[in-house]
Structure 1
Amino acid sequence: MTATAAAPAAPTARPAHRDPQVLTWLGAHTASTLGNSVYYLALSWTAVSNGTPAQAGLVMAVSAVPRALLMLGGGVVADRLGPRRVVIASDTVRCLVVLGLAGTLVLASPGLWALAAVALVFGVVDALFLPAVGALPPRITERDQLARVQGMRGLSSRLGPVLGGPLGGLAVALGGPAAAFGAAGLLFALSLPLLYALRLRPLPEKHEARTGTALRDLADGLRYLRGHRVLGPLMIVVLLSDLGFAGPFNVGLAVLAEQRGWGASGIGWILAGFGTGAGAASLLLTVRGRVPHAGAVSGWTMTAGAVAIAALAATSRLPVAVAVALAVGLLAGLSGALCNALVQTECDPAYLGRVSAVAALCSLGIAPLGFPLTGAAIELWGVGPVYAVSAAVCALAGVHSLVVPAVRRAELPR
């Protein structure tokens, strides 16, 4: 008789929060997020100080145009060159441009045209950076850790505005806009050695070579997305949820605070409540690592969050509004993190740059176009009806998740 030796058990994968590669990526992402927050504060302060409010608004809006127009192309670049290379190049350009602007401000007063030029460059870089950032996590960890990584990414994204705002304000107070831009440039520079230290998992051989044109790659990615039973419907969910959410929490919140007499500090408290809720959702996903029935949970929490958005307009007391905003952050944050985790686990890594580009285009390119419409609708019909319609759009996103069987039954890997 011959005895067959049992194959040794595969070693247990290291949890994401103990994986040096994931922690290196998280450090780079946090530094880049902080740099972005400081940059936008410095840009808005400098634009307001050197021009009218309308001119400052125009400078702040310049970056949105190339970001929206070039986002899909950025997804192709991320898939062709690899997300790590694109992220390194993006942060390098941002570092050099912002440090150059800081030096210019020390020596001269360049005016609004220089600020607009920098904003334009940032818009182009964002079109490359955002799809690449979305494509990185599956290349640095196992599939069963992607939900935990999304929670860690959410915590990092929340940390940016919380710490970046005060840091940028302190830099402006101590050394003016030049110091703030310099601090932003140093934070972008801090991300670079961490990004260089990352080692990505290789793609399967069948996906490594690409000989087609960029347009053919883009068309191939869109066909892949359209034909996927989970990813296609999820893009509709992303678009509807961001369309419904963006107006009330950007344009509508300022109007609501003015009408209720809460003032600017009231807006700050409400946003803090929302950020706390969203951070708690990210922390929950980071700790648990997996939520059973992710597709269904995402749909139900999105629908419940829509109800909370509608309730915000009916609130007259600030403490209640903060509590409602916290509930919105918790519910919307959890549904959004689960949706992102499903995108990353369902998508073939070879297409993730292009798929991430479509998702970013829906949330950061198309959704902000509704801001003027939200403002005009509030002037015509008031805050209540606009919040109700926006909540209905968010609820439609949740219902769509629940009525599409493939999305409702979608699970995160064990």
Structure 2
Amino acid sequence: MSAPLPRAWLAFLAASTLSQLGSTVLWFALGWAAASHGGQVAALVLTASGLPRLLLVLVGGSVADRVGARRLLLVTESVMVTVCLALASGLHATGPTPWLLAAAGLASGIVSAFSLPALGSMPRRLVDDAALPRALALRQSLGQTVLLVGAPLGGLLVATVGLPAIAVADAAGFAVVLLVLAVIRPRRDVGPGAEPLWRSLSDGARVVARTRGLAVALVLTGAVAAVVLPVSSLLVPLLGRASGWSAGTTGLVVAAQAAGSIGATLVVARTGTARRTGRAVALGLAVAAGGVGLVASVGAPVLVAGAAVVVGVGTGVAVAHLAPFVLGSAPRTHLARVQAWTALAQLAPVVVSNNLLGALAERVSAGAALGCCAVVLGLCALAATRLRSASS
């Protein structure tokens, strides 16, 4: 039987998941408010949040490795408590004006550029290497659960308690993370570094390039993200509209994909990962490719939902093996910097693929765009068989 995960990790995971739920609910609510001002304002709010995260995430990873992930998170979570309370005050005073929403997005995007790499590195700072795959799989399953329930909960709370109360609740979630961080002591946190920031940035790129298997894994991560993330966020809604489904039916299809991923990652969290990482990732991606192909072709909503479960299971298996491969390959001195490169590998390709796939869906069909995603996933499955770690 596998040894239980450390209490420090479980406490941190519980607190960070609660905070993630609060943020998911808040950003659904803010997105809903932004949409009331029109598409341009909604796009402005998304850009204000996403662009600084994309531009600054590598800097955030370098800072986390220099000063220590826990120390940086104490600062970023404190700032987010202040941001959420200021947002609640502004919403109460003026309502959800476009500039207030954009300012909240900008502040959140800047802070998250520094917190994301630190948060991503915490599992290896709190968990032994042997238990790392199970810890990451558990985190992934909880994250998928948050995504599954966040939007419906956000819609309910917007109608019942209002935006200011949601912002205050999100501030409380960040405060809970602060309380846990004040108690835990990561065993493998890194002390202050003396090297200049620019050298720290270039050193992170050098480590990614020279660590066996790491660059390939990050390229694979980006390619998978580029064709998996748009399936539920973009292409399934477009397919639903083209097919005449209701919003509820489309939401159930998206939820089915999340449910499949949750189930797969919970199994990995209990049993651990396979010994041959490359083959396991390849198998998961091949299953996901088949599922996406079925989503594009089966037609009936019930069958599409079943195919979406297959997509979720495949991606869940693949990510549950790929994530510990990436984090486990990183030198302990570069954990946050590698996580920053991982975040960049996921964020940048999706910006491009969303536009390309959206254009293809508009000019041809959503099914054609889904078919392209299935083909790319199949190619990624072939590439995954070549994954080799530095210890192989």
Answer whether TM exceeds 0.5 for this pair.
yes
Structure 2 CA distance for aligned equivalents of residues 120 and 277 of structure 1: 33
From 179, 183, 186, give the equivalent of 1:193. 179
**Residues 42 and 181 in structure 1, CA contact (< 8 A), matched pair in contact too:** no
From 47, 70, 74, give the equivalent of 1:88. 74
Superposed displacement of residue 291, structure 1: 2.3
From 121, 125, 129, give the equivalent of 2:107. 121
Structure 2 CA distance for aligned equivalents of residues 132 and 261 of structure 1: 43
User: Which AA in structure 2 matches 1:369?
Assistant: V
Matching residue of 2:170: 184
1:309 correspondence with 2:284: no
Superposed displacement of residue 227, structure 1: 1.0
Superposed displacement of residue 382, structure 1: 1.9
Deviations 1:350-398 (A, max 9, x none): 1111111111111123313321221111222222322222222222222
User: Which AA in structure 2 matches 1:246?
Assistant: L
Structure 2 CA distance for aligned equivalents of residues 209 and 218 of structure 1: 15
Q: Using a 3 Å threshold, how does the CA distance of structure 1 residues 382 and 286 change in structure 2: closer, same or farther?
A: same
Matching residue of 1:34: 21
**Residues 150 and 285 in structure 1, CA contact (< 8 A), matched pair in contact too:** no
Larger Rg: 1 or 2?
1
**Residues 295 and 401 in structure 1, CA contact (< 8 A), matched pair in contact too:** yes
Matching residue of 1:48: 35
Matching residue of 1:105: 91
Alignment of 1:117-266 (within 5 A): 117-202=103-188, 208=191, 210-266=193-249
Structure 1 CA distance for aligned equivalents of residues 252 and 372 of structure 2: 24
1:276 correspondence with 2:253: no
Superposed displacement of residue 15, structure 1: 2.2
Q: Using a 3 Å threshold, how does the CA distance of structure 1 residues 405 and 253 change in structure 2: closer, same or farther?
A: closer
Q: How many residues align?
A: 392
**Residues 83 and 132 in structure 1, CA contact (< 8 A), matched pair in contact too:** yes
Structure 2 CA distance for aligned equivalents of residues 225 and 108 of structure 1: 47
1:74 correspondence with 2:60: yes
What SS does the corresponding residue of 2:95 show, helix, strand or coil?
Answer: coil
Matching residue of 1:367: 350
Matching residue of 1:4: none
Structure 1 CA distance for aligned equivalents of residues 391 and 24 of structure 2: 34
Structure 2 CA distance for aligned equivalents of residues 374 and 263 of structure 1: 22
Superposed displacement of residue 21, structure 1: 0.8
User: Which AA in structure 2 matches 1:241?
Assistant: V
Deviations 1:100-134 (A, max 9, x none): 11112222336210110110111111111111111
Matching residue of 2:272: 289
**Residues 65 and 337 in structure 2, CA contact (< 8 A), matched pair in contact too:** yes
Superposed displacement of residue 405, structure 1: 5.5
User: Which AA in structure 2 matches 1:15?
Assistant: P
Structure 2 CA distance for aligned equivalents of residues 373 and 94 of structure 1: 34
Superposed displacement of residue 286, structure 1: 1.2
**Residues 68 and 191 in structure 2, CA contact (< 8 A), matched pair in contact too:** no
**Residues 281 and 333 in structure 1, CA contact (< 8 A), matched pair in contact too:** yes
What SS does the corresponding residue of 1:136 show, helix, strand or coil?
Answer: helix
**Residues 71 and 357 in structure 1, CA contact (< 8 A), matched pair in contact too:** yes
**Residues 310 and 387 in structure 1, CA contact (< 8 A), matched pair in contact too:** yes
Q: Using a 3 Å threshold, how does the CA distance of structure 1 residues 110 and 309 change in structure 2: closer, same or farther?
A: closer
User: Which AA in structure 2 matches 1:322?
Assistant: A
Q: Using a 3 Å threshold, how does the CA distance of structure 1 residues 167 and 258 change in structure 2: closer, same or farther?
A: closer
Matching residue of 1:23: 10
392-401 or 168-177: which moved more?
168-177
User: Which AA in structure 1 matches 2:65?
Assistant: D
User: Which AA in structure 2 matches 1:107?
Assistant: A
Matching residue of 1:3: none
Structure 2 CA distance for aligned equivalents of residues 163 and 244 of structure 1: 23
Structure 2 CA distance for aligned equivalents of residues 43 and 156 of structure 1: 23
Matching residue of 1:406: 388
Superposed displacement of residue 14, structure 1: 4.5
Deviations 1:298-345 (A, max 9, x none): 122112211211221102111111111011001101101210011122
**Residues 37 and 164 in structure 1, CA contact (< 8 A), matched pair in contact too:** yes
**Residues 307 and 391 in structure 1, CA contact (< 8 A), matched pair in contact too:** yes
Deviations 1:17-46 (A, max 9, x none): xx2111111112212211211121121122
Q: TM-score, normalised by structure 1?
A: 0.89
**Residues 221 and 345 in structure 2, CA contact (< 8 A), matched pair in contact too:** yes
**Residues 45 and 177 in structure 1, CA contact (< 8 A), matched pair in contact too:** no
Structure 2 CA distance for aligned equivalents of residues 126 and 107 of structure 1: 26
User: Which AA in structure 1 matches 2:162?
Assistant: G
Structure 2 CA distance for aligned equivalents of residues 194 and 262 of structure 1: 44
Superposed displacement of residue 209, structure 1: 5.8
Q: Using a 3 Å threshold, how does the CA distance of structure 1 residues 405 and 140 change in structure 2: closer, same or farther?
A: closer
Percent identity, aligned pairs only? 29
Structure 1 CA distance for aligned equivalents of residues 382 and 327 of structure 2: 22
